[in-house]
Amino acid sequence: MAKRDWSKLSDSQKKRYLGAGKSGTLTGTPGRTPAQVRKYYEGGGDLSFGRGHAPKGAAPRKVTGRVTKGLGTTEDLKALANWRKRSAPDWIPKNNATMKDDTAAALSLIGVRPSSWKTVSIRQNAEGDFTMTVTTKRGVTHVVILPDRDSVSEVSRLLKNPDKLGKTKKENKTLQQSWTKANGEPYAIEVEIYGYVDPKASAPDLNVPTKKEGQALPRKKRK
Express each pLDDT in 65-107 by its tens digit: 888 888 889 999 999 999 999 999 999 999 999 999 999 999 9
Question: Do 164 and 157 form a contact (C-beta atoms < 8 A)?
Answer: yes
Q: What is the DSSP string of 51-88?
A: TT---TTPPPHHHHHHHHTT---HHHHHHHHHHHHHT-
How far apart (Å, rounded) are the C-alpha atoms in residues 101 and 169?
Answer: 21
Q: Are residues 72 and 116 in the same domain?
A: yes
pTM of the prediction? 0.70
Q: What is the pLDDT of residue 205?
A: 43
Would 206 be classed as within a structural domain?
no
The domain of 142 spans 55-197+214-223
Q: Are residues 70 and 107 in the same domain?
A: yes
Q: Are residues 71 and 181 in the same domain?
A: yes
Express each pLDDT in 159-211 by its tens digit: 999 999 999 999 999 999 999 998 889 899 999 988 765 556 544 443 434 34
Give the pLDDT band of residue 32 (cuts 50, 70, 90).
Answer: confident
Domain boundary among the residues 53, 80, 100 is at: 53
